[in-house]
Amino acid sequence: MKIGLLGCGTVGSALVSLLDQEGERLAYLLGEPLELGRILVRDPEKERSWPIPASLLTTQLSDVIDDAEIGLVVELLGPGEFALAAIRAALRAEKSVVTANKEILSTHFPELELAAEAANRDIFFEAAVAGGIPLIRALRVSLFGERLSRIVGIVNGTTNYILTKMQEEHLSLEVALGEAQQLGYAEADPSGDLSGRDAASKLAIIASIAFGSHVDVEDVKVDGIWGVTPSDVDFAARSGGVIKLLAQAERDADIPDAPIRVEVFPAIVMSTHPLASVRGSFNAVFVEGSAVGQLMFSGPGAGGLPTASAVLADVIDAVKNLRNSTRAPMRVTEGTHFVDDSTVEAVFALSMEVVDAPGVLAQVSEVFGQHGVSIARMEQDELGAELAHLVFLTHRTRLSAMKATIAGLAGLDVIARLHQILRVLE
Amino acid sequence: MKIGLLGCGTVGSALVSLLDQEGERLAYLLGEPLELGRILVRDPEKERSWPIPASLLTTQLSDVIDDAEIGLVVELLGPGEFALAAIRAALRAEKSVVTANKEILSTHFPELELAAEAANRDIFFEAAVAGGIPLIRALRVSLFGERLSRIVGIVNGTTNYILTKMQEEHLSLEVALGEAQQLGYAEADPSGDLSGRDAASKLAIIASIAFGSHVDVEDVKVDGIWGVTPSDVDFAARSGGVIKLLAQAERDADIPDAPIRVEVFPAIVMSTHPLASVRGSFNAVFVEGSAVGQLMFSGPGAGGLPTASAVLADVIDAVKNLRNSTRAPMRVTEGTHFVDDSTVEAVFALSMEVVDAPGVLAQVSEVFGQHGVSIARMEQDELGAELAHLVFLTHRTRLSAMKATIAGLAGLDVIARLHQILRVLE
């Protein structure tokens, strides 16, 4: 049984290097070799980080799909319709599929899982979420019997690298982003990371598996880190925390078929919380279950070899299942519905620049009061140029009330700038 | 297919409660019910935390082993020959086995794995190590293809609770132990925990799975926390760390069939290391692999429900395999040999009480020099009663040189008391 590989970029080349270097050992452990059949590439002439025999390369998808010796297809093509069509074709041809394609899974998971079930083949995607961390298999297998109530994590290494730099070196977002781009931690167009969209894709996949539901990336309420300023970072530090971009999925585990809440948002994570110590481009995911309690998984969120390691784990599992003519079961529950914002409650921090004049604080505070938002702590400092900087930390309150407050504040002439709202994770 | 349960203490009762409460949901997800056939107990009249129909209870092991409807035996009897005999009998009767028995696995794993293979059945033991953390399955499945070089973790919740108390509330070991006993975190006889023996059992199992080797608890070099004092805890804090009892398995991943080093020892863990933030009775395990890099898993290390959750995960996996007439493969490499102490290198901290007199420091320092141990930092403070307290932090040096130094120091009249040696984890 051979493996067909679609795409041979960073992760693909790393996978080929692993199969080459570890081939003998893996063949011994598995009792059969893991052999590459064909590799689909756009440009066979391109130089790669690992030497690949030219005879394996093809530019035709059909060379992979129609090859009867190929029982398993690894899809590493990146976003786009072609990758989706390739996965569909592989499953139709009764090949198991291993993919790292978060964009496709976060919108087409139900369809692809059904297609895999119909073909009696696996679709595995450990590498689509949190790089090398074996999270998906833990959720699918080890925690299969758990009623999960909450998954909250740092699943975007780029923003975590930027936020860590801002915090530890007192940099602005722009400077930290520039450094991340120079080091290859951020892409030339960082909008997918900074907007929270990348984290939302991963969260949709995590929530789908954790809750056995159909969560689409469009179901996720997303707020990115575009608006996080050094003064927010300082305020977080004075409050005993650090700013992190969190992806969170919640469901009341005690109510069957309870609505789901899926959100990506910047938060002040208090230093006593294990997620606070996750630095740089690392990822970490915190899981709460009815019986097991709280678990945390952390590790490299990206990178060629760690991601290829997750792909390889899927390949080994899929090969084992093919040999046994079986497939991995999915946890699928009833319909999926979502909590609307109005019921979300949390502690929030909101900072703003205001005109430094008598009566302004009273005017601002009144807006919080009008919407029933109670203030736990307030800080004021001078900014120069007749401006003052105000930070409000609320008591636990509804997100809807906070949004109404922000709308009210936006209407005040005395406010020069409203910063991004931050949630507090204790 | 029914489940036979051997032993119904804290974990057993929690498992019965899970099967009762989650039964309907699990039957739906699995496509078949998980039903208890018989439960072996010592005293059928004993009151239990979860009501159990009297008709299920038996005091005869043969009622479970000879029941043809029972395809899977869960062994929760605790240490002892009877449990070992029961596991052997279950495998001989071609039943899959799920066990939480670290004592038995850490001495009889090779024999039991061979017996399971001969019967074409599984022996699973997620709950034997690190409570609810799905570590064993991650090592067996997700990291099957990795060449692992190092596993280091906090796998004994009792000692971690005691060390956390000593650190955060400035208590002596005796007082912290007393509190742990009152709260049920430590047993009346705490020697298995404090001596490091419990951690060594778990480490033997972890190393066996991680390296595909035969590591017995007797192969583990063990040092416990009996000798850790408040002044050691203070010195760790001044050095920017905390004291933890670590279990560590290492092997050079680049050399086939390289020797293994397995050790349990108290260490100063620097606060930048993720293991430093593991508080109270939590467990955490740090894994280093050739491709994946560094991963960490943390969660509850003990407790009825978390442990029962790990047992349930094994039960579900074993039932799936029985249905598919398959079993989980083991990674087994060649022979196992061990590194001897003399090659172990680390940074060490050693403290002592000495006579407060001129020339003593020179005399003590000379012993370090005689054995080629270079000092990175030294602290001295008065203790009263004509005693001084000295702490030496070494540069990276061999454990054999440190042991020779300690033997040399023990021969000096000016030393009133040598404290326990601590390793430093950066």
Q: How confident is the model at residue A334 (pLDDT cuts 50, 70, 90)?
A: low
- Position B383 scores a pLDDT of 80
Rounded CA-CA distance A270/A285 in Å is 16
- Position A272 scores a pLDDT of 85
- Position A49 scores a pLDDT of 82
DSSP class per residue in B160-222: HHHHHHHHHH---HHHHHHHHHHTTSS-SS-HHHHTSHHHHHHHHHHHHHHHTS---GGGSEE
Rounded CA-CA distance B68/B95 in Å is 9
Q: Quick one: tokens of A92?
A: 């139709």
Q: Looking at this predicted complex, what is its ipTM?
A: 0.93
Rounded CA-CA distance B105/B204 in Å is 8
Q: Which chain B residues are within 8 Å of A313, Cβ to Cβ?
A: 141-145
Q: Which chain B residues are within 8 Å of A291, Cβ to Cβ?
A: 14, 18, 132, 305-306, 308-309, 312
Among A42, A22, A76, which residue's Cα sits nearest to residue A304? A76
Beta strands A148-154 and A241-251 are antiparallel
Model confidence at A206: pLDDT above 90:
yes
- Please report the number of interchain residue pairs, chain A to chain B, with beta-carbon separation below 8 angstroms: 156
Model confidence at A426: pLDDT above 80:
yes
* Dihedral sign, Cα of residue A121, residue A126, residue A127, residue A129: positive
Residue of B nearest to A22 (CA): B145
Q: Which of A353-357, B97-101, B203-207, B332-336 comes out lowest in average pLDDT? A: B332-336
Q: How confident is the model at residue A333 (pLDDT cuts 50, 70, 90)?
A: low
pLDDT digits (tens, 9 = 90+) for A74-85: 999 999 999 999
**Residues of chain B with pLDDT > 70: what percent?**
99
**Active-site residues of A: which are they?**
202
B309 close to B18: Cβ distance less than 8 angstroms = yes
In this prediction the pTM is 0.94
pLDDT digits (tens, 9 = 90+) for A339-349: 877 788 999 99
Site of tokens 């407060």 = B356
Rounded CA-CA distance B286/A189 in Å is 34
Cβ of A29 within 8 Å of Cβ of B329? The answer is yes
Site of tokens 């592989």 = A90
What domains are there in chain A, each with its CATH number?
2-135+305-323 (3.40.50.720), 145-300 (3.30.360.10), 341-425 (3.30.70.260)
Model confidence at B119: pLDDT above 80:
yes
Rounded to an integer, the average pLDDT of A295-303 is 94
- Position B342 scores a pLDDT of 74
Among B208, B206, B221, B197, which residue's Cα sits nearest to residue B110? B208
Residue of A nearest to B136 (CA): A142
Among A60, A59, A110, A101, which residue's Cα sits nearest to residue A81? A101
Q: How confident is the model at residue B382 (pLDDT cuts 50, 70, 90)?
A: confident
Mean predicted lDDT score pLDDT of chain A: 94
Cβ of B147 within 8 Å of Cβ of A22? The answer is yes
Rounded to an integer, the average pLDDT of A342-367 is 92
Cβ of B133 within 8 Å of Cβ of A295? The answer is yes
DSSP class per residue in A294-334: EEEEEEE---HHHHHHHHHHHHHHHHHHHHTT--------S
State the CB neighbour count (10 A cutoff) for residue B280: 15
* Dihedral sign, Cα of residue B240, residue B242, residue B243, residue B246: negative
Q: Is B46 a catalytic residue?
A: no
pLDDT digits (tens, 9 = 90+) for B394-414: 999 999 999 999 999 999 999
Q: Which chain A residues are within 8 Å of B145, Cβ to Cβ?
A: 18, 22, 26, 29, 309, 312-313, 316
Q: How confident is the model at residue B21 (pLDDT cuts 50, 70, 90)?
A: very high
| Among A30, A272, A292, the residue to mutate for chain B (most B Cβ within 10 A) | A292
Rounded CA-CA distance A91/A84 in Å is 11
Cβ of A145 within 8 Å of Cβ of B26? The answer is yes
Residue of B nearest to A133 (CA): B295
Model confidence at B232: pLDDT above 70:
yes
Rounded CA-CA distance A271/A288 in Å is 19
Rounded CA-CA distance B162/B419 in Å is 18
Residue B1 DSSP SS3: coil
Q: Which of A141, A212, A289 minimises the CB distance to B137? A: A141
Rounded to an integer, the average pLDDT of A43-53 is 88
- Position B29 scores a pLDDT of 85
Rounded CA-CA distance B134/A120 in Å is 27
Residue of A nearest to B285 (CA): A297
Residue A31 DSSP SS3: coil
pLDDT digits (tens, 9 = 90+) for A277-286: 899 999 999 9
Rounded to an integer, the average pLDDT of B234-248 is 95
Q: Quick one: tokens of A257?
A: 């078929």
- Position A365 scores a pLDDT of 94
| Count of residues in chain A | 426
pLDDT digits (tens, 9 = 90+) for B301-330: 989 999 999 999 999 999 999 998 999 878
State the CB neighbour count (10 A cutoff) for residue A242: 24
| Among B292, B305, B321, B323, the residue to mutate for chain A (most A Cβ within 10 A) | B292
Residue type, B135: L
* Dihedral sign, Cα of residue A87, residue A88, residue A93, residue A97: positive
- Position B334 scores a pLDDT of 58
Outline where A40-156 has alpha helix (H). 61-65, 81-92, 102-119, 135-137
- Among B95, B202, B221, B244, which one carries the catalytic annotation? B202
- Position A151 scores a pLDDT of 98
Residue type, B205: I
Q: Which of A29, A133, A142 minimises the CB distance to B134? A: A142
Mean pLDDT comparison of A180-194, A347-361, B60-74, B255-269, highest-scoring range: B60-74
Rounded to an integer, the average pLDDT of A71-100 is 97
Rounded to an integer, the average pLDDT of B38-60 is 92
